Structure 1
Amino acid sequence: MERMRSLFLLIFLAISFQATAQLDLSYYLPQNVSYNPSIPTPKEVIGHEVGEWHITHDKLVYYMKALAAASDRMSIQEIGTTHEGRQQVIVTVSHPNNLANIDKLRSDHVWLTYPNEADKFDVEKMPVVIYMGHSIHGNEPSGANASLLTAYYLAAAQGPAIDNALRNSVILLDPAYNPDGLTRFSTWANMHKGKVVNTDPSDREYSEVWPGGRTNHYWFDLNRDWLPVQQPESRNRITQYHLWKPNILTDHHEMGTNSTFFFQPGVPERTHPITPKENQELTAKIGEFHAAALDSIGSLYFTAEGYDDFYYGKGSTFPDINGGVGILFEQASSRGHAQESANGVLRFPFTIKNQFNTALSTWRAAISMRVELLEYQRDFYKKALKAADDDATKAYIFKAEKDPARAYHLADILNEQEIDFYKPSRKLSFNEEEYLPENSYIVPLKQRNYRIIKGMFEKRTEFQDSLFYDISGWTYPLAFNLEYHEMSSRDYSRSQLGDKIEDLRFPQGQVYGGQSNYAYVFEWHGYYAPRAAYKLLESGIRIKVATSKFTGPGDREFDRGTILVPVANQSLTERELFQQMLEISQTDALNIYALNSGLTAGVTLGSNSFEALKKPEIALIVEGGSSYDAGEVWHLLDTRMKMPVTKLPYDRLGRNDIDRYNTIIISGGLNLSKGQLENLKSWVQKGNTLIGTTSAVSWMARNGLSPLKMIEMESLDAAEVPYDMISNHQRAQYIPGGVYMSKLELSHPMAFGYYREELPTFRRGNVMVLPADEMYANPGLYTEKPLLSGWINKPNLDTLANSSTIRVNALGGGKVVSLVDNPNFRAFWFGTNKLMMNAIFFGPIINRSAAK
């Protein structure tokens, strides 16, 4: 037995040595075809073998351009740039005859998605379209590195079978979904590689520093952004997707080092009900080609477990409501060049080889199933119209009466997803809400993208399974906190549709009353009111906020939270200030009112009910807590509100230089020393504002920064759960992410800018807070029956009812604001962003007696 072990070890080491010492294209490429010697190999262009080093994004694009220049099978197009200015490219691959006629092929293919036109086209004669996408998580690099091989193979492989496949397919190769993240990770891995590769998992190479290379520039997970399209990388990609409507999209990922390889389908019970059954059948049929490919090279794999096809914001699920088939690949990650694992030493070249082979198996499947896939796509859109006829809901109408920018941003997403929407042809009334042509949008369901609309607008609370790989609810009009109505056949007729909106434009406000020599006011209802307030403060303009309602000329009532801009004693002249107010009204979609007297009804403009505001000086704590949550705060302040924010490493909280900030934001628990914690407390006591979200709320309570009492949930008994289901049982006790109704105290500064008590919030996780005894210490509470959309078990739901969503407590002269939920979730939760902005601007003015 010992001799057998020794022999096995020697064989394993020999194979491992060969994989590294003799690494070249022969390790990867099939040998049943010949290769065109005029096509440059990766090494000839990038200077190293595939897998020898982690490819940097610049070299990756350089190689794609070199191939396109050398091959008549390829063309390359820049589709946009990332936050950091890196090129996003698409390489189009097909037979030269197809490329010469590519615009016609694309147009004909897209016509299959128009039910009234689709039958004019013969799918027997049309190529199948495959979108091959790689490494949307930058630190899952085997996909992007495999794209070098896939591109070379598609350009250089020769033979009748290759020629036939090229004639019958168009491949859109996206070599790196996430250029910024890939660059961050490749730099990390390469800078830690030694002459002798160290496979010890404890080596620094395999443990990136916070936030890691997974995310994009603002630390967003781009694989959750296919539906909301809030990041430029996503918008650029989705534009290309809709230009082609591919039949198959591949999404090459990585998972834990001790795993093997996964390909879809996922868990059958966790497929979204809107997805047609035929989609999963096609996915399983394609999976047979992956299994054969991995069997041929001896790679272990699994399928139909662990992952799911529920959340439509993921790359592998998004195609399922667009007439295609999304395929998720998950490769065990070496997280560097080679690492010990439960399956032996996992080497980077091996991970690349698996990704490359499944890219080729996808191509083989697409060619074999070409007509079937095209017929499915054509029928998918025909059945969508039938499903719309059968749907009790016929249209959605929505508005944000006092905030046109918020409604615009939802319409903008509809526009990006090629959904048709209209202005109402006349005033419509539902549930005591009036929807006017100038402030509302109607989305009829009977259109080809019916399933995308349902995937965005529906509320769902019943599920076949209680486990979710991602979130379980994301209803868009609730995420935007809009007034909206589901129009039934009784409510809806085609005559209600006014002009179709073809040219969506950002709304603009105006200055009513012209230039004033006394004061200007604008309400806080507007989404971009905080941006306007910061512009004024940054310009040295003194501004105040109304803590009570008042009435101006013409009986115009102004709500709490209205910003007052006095004209006298400012750093700008009357004319300069007027010009700035004009600019703000246009760029920030705000209506501004010129007042020529302080004698207003209710409170007058000189009242102490108007509180002076200070310019926020913000530090966002990083290198601790959630990088996702921190990135969402950074993105909100930087890109939308145009407010600078210092990303402050948590270990600097022990220094006196934090006194330069008046606001600190924490996105999760921190590992602070006693001295750092005391310094943070002292900083708050000096009159500053500390804001914590989600898990930071419980951390602040545990560390004496707030008096909040957390609700401890009892674990459900697992005594009768089978051993192999214990993990699933534990996961089912967790709230996976959904939409819940809260109620605001509208007179409280934390609720300024909201004009309805009801506020849908996004909740994920089990942090729950007991409400305070004092009424005004609870500016936000969950309702008695809070669930709106998503899954939650009954014990959690019962406990969540009437618990706090927002708490503010005084600590010395300062305030600690606890936001139990994440108000900035994935950048598309526009409806609760204002809670974060209110904490920043109005935390300091909250009455101490209400901060308990």
Structure 2
Amino acid sequence: MKTGFFKKLTLILMIGSLAVGTINAQIQSPEEYLVTNYGKHFTPHHLLVEYARYLAENSEYMTLETYGYTNEKRPLLLATFTTPGNHQDIDDIRKTNINTTGLETFSDNMINEKAILWMSFGVHGNEAAGPESSITVMYKLANPDGQTRMWLDNTVVLIDPSVNPDGYSRYTHWLWRIAGDEPHPSMYDREHMEPWPGGRTNHYHFDLNRDWAWQTQVESQQRMIKYNQWMPHIHADFHEMGYNSHYYFAPAAKPYHEYMTQWQRDFQVDIGRNHAKYFDEKGWIYFTRENFDLLYPSYGDTYPTFSGAIGMTYEKGGSGRAGRAIIMNNDDTLTIRDRIDHHVTTAMSTIEIASKNADRLLANFKKYYQDAINSPKGKFKAYVVKSSESSKALADLLSRNKIRYNYATESQSLNGYHYQSEMNKSFKLEPEDIVIDVKQPKSTLLQVLFEPEPMLEDSITYDITSWCIPFAYGVETYGLNAVPSINMEADYAEMMDMSPPMDAYAYHFSWGSNEAHQVIAAFARNGVRMRLADRPSKIQGKEVNRATVVIMKGDNKHIKNLNQLVIGTLADTSIDWGTLDSGFSDAGGDLGGRRFRLIDNPKVLILAGEGVSSYAFGQIWHYFEHHLHYPLSIVNKDNMGRVNLDDYNVLILPEGFYRLSKEEKDELNSWVRGGGKLIAVGGALRNLSDQEGFALARYATDEEKKAADKAAEAKSLEERLVDYEGEERRRISQIVPGAIIQNKVDNTHPLAYGIEGDYFSLKTSTATYNWLKDAWNVVYVPETFKSYGFVGKELKDKLGGTVSFAVEEKGRGSVIYMIDNPLYRGFWHNGLHLFTNAVFMVE
């Protein structure tokens, strides 16, 4: 009886296996399905999407969803691979894992534990072998052989085949347009000369691989919602690098962040050994533990690491310069097929080792979150962020990252570490202050984002070395040794003013928040004329503070229904605003006097094109379109001579390596004197530095320059017999990969309106300018200053007594010098105030 049963069972399993084999045999390979000569030319994104949908329709091992859309409305895809049986229980698998983290609690699911892997391809669009490789990986998983089916039995593999479809399309469509029938491996052929702005970045030229924590971009925002719904145990991020490099995989280079667990460090080695086994068999060249560290928290390897996963970057030589084939410096020819094969090998190896170590992955992931909740890392038990114009924006960042916080509803006297002064001091916790308990699922990420200065085990790093959120957002913050024992709530209700009376004499609103930026931009966009208080005044018993924006009925006779427009714009905001029935002051200045000057609504022009940093241009472009929602005109540098500058009153020169001719600089000088406002950022300052007609100079006096030259000569003489081996260490003494520098602020100047206390600037370049003559040094580094993150000793010695942001008044206009980039990567929130002030407030 039992024997007959087992015979029948065996027969059923054999039939099922044959049926699956029949289904899989019907699935066409990429070479068979795609019309692009797969493996020899790149696959446009729309065809990648088509093939992914074809696989999902024809495989029991795969499902596909569209989790969002890019700025250019291309779909963002997530493919899920596992066995058909696991697919039936996929929601239970996901909920089981989320229950483990404590981020949510589900009670309606059956416990079903599987190792979960997430693979991201093509975050940099012109690293096109990533999406190409994803096509083969998806085919192998949708049409699995016996070994792969075994791996999928205890794993769920999530694949994002093209993280950056807009950049990928920009690159592949360009290459298809200019390429001939055969590849041209000479590095000087045009298929290796990608034009500006290149395909690396997204629509707004942001590097999405630096945006995981900040989520400034629509692709990141949508992806992180899905990521936090899964919380994978392994995340592998597939990249490319310079074409003369070979293959890089884990373990990563130092420095590691100190909050990485020993398990995370050790398992990277295990994964690397598994990859090496396959590369050794094939004779492929690779390296580990070089270049790519695990410190900066907003990468595709570090962010997952600080979320409990094994986060890894895989890099293959290639990128935009490689085209379809290119001759390397070892005389080998690197082809698309080489790049695909190497990435596919590490992808499948990652799945293999995850399957073989599923129990260890699950156990250590569970322990990670138990420790996060019960015994979190870091020296503080709680944080308090004082309520301010910027604290709401910080709360939004915490929410996007699933970091829990509450608002105080009562007052209490406390003592804690004060970030801005680096001292323990007493303070008063008040209603609407943000309180963050460190004991929570995302405690490690929280501690990393809030740490003033990460510990660096090696000062040779790949990216910025400090990102402290309290400094980035300009919010007063305290670290506490205990959680305050007070009543708190998850949100607070804001008291809204009642609607003001009709036909008010004037309206006023406070300055300094994101909402205020957007409100002033909305009014300017609608042609509303506004005034700016440059001194405190008192009118009708009301305090009208410096930087208050005033809208007067008398200035806006051209606008019908002014009252309705103003109320409709301000009523739904949390901005402090109100009305005035008279322009006569009790103290200070009258509304119609010189203390309330008219703001010129900006007509903005920005340079773009060859020589301009696409990153810097994109940051400004995105700022106008997604922060201010305000129009700007874009002109390529080469077409500058065709523009009538008198049609604009604001011109922005982004960072870059372009050069302005003497005639162009003379024209700018004349335009500024006639009332124009020139905003020059970072590398653009080379066009103005030490030039006739501009106050910008590296040294304020001849004596300063002579002293600097003398010091440089003495150093050169001292280093005549230094050892060759120490050159890298000596070089980093003169650089800053990205560090926070304390600046003093003249907050009576319009450029600094809304900035309270010191300004902590993110410095990413070695450019220094001593305090300027004949200009307002509005934001400057004092002789003695605090810094966070790595700054080379020689550079640090030069920073004291330099300026970071200055304004030169010239005729009826002004030049604003931005030595540091206040919009860097879009996450330095406090820099938004500076840039908005430059656009609207500075005359």
Deviation at 1:569, TM superposition (A): 5.4
> Which digits, 9 at most, give the CA deviation of each residue in 1:672-698, with x for residues without a partner?
333333333333232211111122234
Task: Verify the 8 A CA contact 2:126 2:319 in the aligned structure 1.
Answer: no
Structure-2 separation of matches of 1:826 and 1:115: 28
**What is aligned with 2:488?**
498
Task: Select between 730-739 and 282-291 the one with higher mean Cα deviation.
Answer: 730-739
Deviation at 1:463, TM superposition (A): 2.1
Identical counterparts, % of pairs: 28
Query: 1:196-345 counterparts in 2 under 5 A?
Result: 196-268=182-254, 270-333=255-318, 335=320, 336-343=323-330, 344-345=332-333
Change (3 A) 1:472 1:643: same
Deviation at 1:113, TM superposition (A): 2.0
**Matched residue type, 1:829:** W
Deviation at 1:603, TM superposition (A): 1.0
Change (3 A) 1:543 1:116: closer
Task: Describe the SS at the equivalent of 1:778.
Answer: strand
Deviation at 1:542, TM superposition (A): 1.9
Asked if 1:610 is matched to 2:596, the reply is: yes
Deviation at 1:464, TM superposition (A): 1.8
**What is aligned with 1:817?**
816
Change (3 A) 1:288 1:616: same
**Matched residue type, 1:90:** L
Task: Verify the 8 A CA contact 1:823 1:832 in the aligned structure 2.
Answer: yes
> Which digits, 9 at most, give the CA deviation of each residue in 1:464-506, with x for residues without a partner?
21111011000112101012211223xx33x3251235xx99x
Task: Describe the SS at the equivalent of 1:832.
Answer: helix
**What is aligned with 1:749?**
750
**What is aligned with 1:455?**
448
Task: Verify the 8 A CA contact 1:311 1:471 in the aligned structure 2.
Answer: yes
Task: Verify the 8 A CA contact 1:139 1:185 in the aligned structure 2.
Answer: yes
Change (3 A) 1:77 1:719: farther
**Matched residue type, 2:748:** S
- Structure 1 residue ranges without an equivalent (≥5): 1-32, 846-852
Structure-2 separation of matches of 1:204 and 1:177: 26
Change (3 A) 1:661 1:434: farther
Structure-1 separation of matches of 2:677 and 2:162: 41
Deviation at 1:163, TM superposition (A): 2.2
Query: 1:425-440 counterparts in 2 under 5 A?
Result: 425-429=409-413, 434-437=428-431, 439-440=432-433
Task: Verify the 8 A CA contact 1:334 1:351 in the aligned structure 2.
Answer: no
Task: Verify the 8 A CA contact 1:266 1:304 in the aligned structure 2.
Answer: yes
Structure-2 separation of matches of 1:649 and 1:472: 34
> Which digits, 9 at most, give the CA deviation of each residue in 1:801-843, with x for residues without a partner?
2321111113444311001111112111111211111111233
What number of residue pairs does the alignment pair up? 793
Change (3 A) 1:235 1:770: same
Task: Verify the 8 A CA contact 1:622 1:648 in the aligned structure 2.
Answer: yes
Structure-1 separation of matches of 2:140 and 2:272: 21
**What is aligned with 1:475?**
468
Match of 1:442 among 432, 435, 443: 435
Query: 1:726-745 counterparts in 2 under 5 A?
Result: 726-745=727-746
**Matched residue type, 2:346:** T
Change (3 A) 1:791 1:725: same
Runs of 4 or more off by more than 6 Å in structure 1? 115-118, 120-123
Task: Describe the SS at the equivalent of 2:158.
Answer: strand
Deviation at 1:572, TM superposition (A): 5.8
Structure-2 separation of matches of 1:312 and 1:680: 41
Deviation at 1:588, TM superposition (A): 4.9
Structure-1 separation of matches of 2:835 and 2:498: 27
Asked if 1:77 is matched to 2:65, the reply is: yes
Structure-1 separation of matches of 2:728 and 2:631: 43
Task: Verify the 8 A CA contact 1:653 1:679 in the aligned structure 2.
Answer: no
Deviation at 1:372, TM superposition (A): 1.3
**Matched residue type, 1:323:** G
Deviation at 1:620, TM superposition (A): 1.3
Asked if 1:174 is matched to 2:174, the reply is: no
**Matched residue type, 2:203:** H
- Structure 2 residue ranges without an equivalent (≥5): 1-20, 415-424, 700-707
RMSD: 2.6
Task: Verify the 8 A CA contact 2:98 2:105 in the aligned structure 1.
Answer: no
Match of 1:413 among 383, 394, 397: 397
Structure-1 separation of matches of 2:721 and 2:156: 53
Change (3 A) 1:479 1:369: same
**Matched residue type, 1:460:** E
Task: Describe the SS at the equivalent of 1:653.
Answer: helix
**What is aligned with 1:540?**
527
Structure-2 separation of matches of 1:471 and 1:73: 41
Task: Verify the 8 A CA contact 1:511 1:594 in the aligned structure 2.
Answer: no
Asked if 1:707 is matched to 2:708, the reply is: no
Query: 1:593-608 counterparts in 2 under 5 A?
Result: 593-600=578-585, 601-608=587-594
Task: Verify the 8 A CA contact 1:81 1:233 in the aligned structure 2.
Answer: yes
Asked if 1:584 is matched to 2:582, the reply is: no
Task: Verify the 8 A CA contact 1:740 1:761 in the aligned structure 2.
Answer: yes
Deviation at 1:101, TM superposition (A): 0.6
Task: Describe the SS at the equivalent of 1:53.
Answer: coil
Deviation at 1:117, TM superposition (A): 9.2
> Which digits, 9 at most, give the CA deviation of each residue in 1:200-253, with x for residues without a partner?
111221121121111111110000011111111111111121111111111000
Change (3 A) 1:777 1:730: same
Task: Describe the SS at the equivalent of 1:602.
Answer: coil
Task: Verify the 8 A CA contact 2:36 2:42 in the aligned structure 1.
Answer: no
TM-score, normalised by the number of residues in structure 2: 0.89
**What is aligned with 1:3?**
none
Structure-2 separation of matches of 1:254 and 1:787: 37
Structure-1 separation of matches of 2:412 and 2:820: 34
**What is aligned with 1:51?**
39
> Which digits, 9 at most, give the CA deviation of each residue in 1:260-289, with x for residues without a partner?
110122223x11111112211111111111
**Matched residue type, 1:78:** T
**Matched residue type, 2:157:** I
Task: Verify the 8 A CA contact 1:737 1:764 in the aligned structure 2.
Answer: yes
Deviation at 1:571, TM superposition (A): 4.1
Task: Describe the SS at the equivalent of 1:611.
Answer: strand
Structure-2 separation of matches of 1:459 and 1:557: 36
Task: Describe the SS at the equivalent of 1:291.
Answer: helix
**What is aligned with 2:724?**
723
Structure-2 separation of matches of 1:443 and 1:371: 33
**What is aligned with 2:760?**
760
**Matched residue type, 1:183:** S
**What is aligned with 1:687?**
675
**What is aligned with 2:173?**
187
**What is aligned with 2:81?**
93
Deviation at 1:63, TM superposition (A): 1.0
TM-score, normalised by the number of residues in structure 1: 0.88
**What is aligned with 1:164?**
150
**Matched residue type, 1:89:** L
Deviation at 1:578, TM superposition (A): 1.9
Structure-2 separation of matches of 1:780 and 1:117: 48
**Matched residue type, 1:361:** S
**Matched residue type, 2:827:** F
Deviation at 1:723, TM superposition (A): 3.3
Change (3 A) 1:472 1:511: farther
**Matched residue type, 1:496:** I
Task: Verify the 8 A CA contact 1:134 1:177 in the aligned structure 2.
Answer: yes
Structure-1 separation of matches of 2:603 and 2:496: 28
**What is aligned with 1:60?**
48
Structure-2 separation of matches of 1:113 and 1:187: 42
Task: Verify the 8 A CA contact 1:521 1:562 in the aligned structure 2.
Answer: yes
Structure-1 separation of matches of 2:720 and 2:438: 47
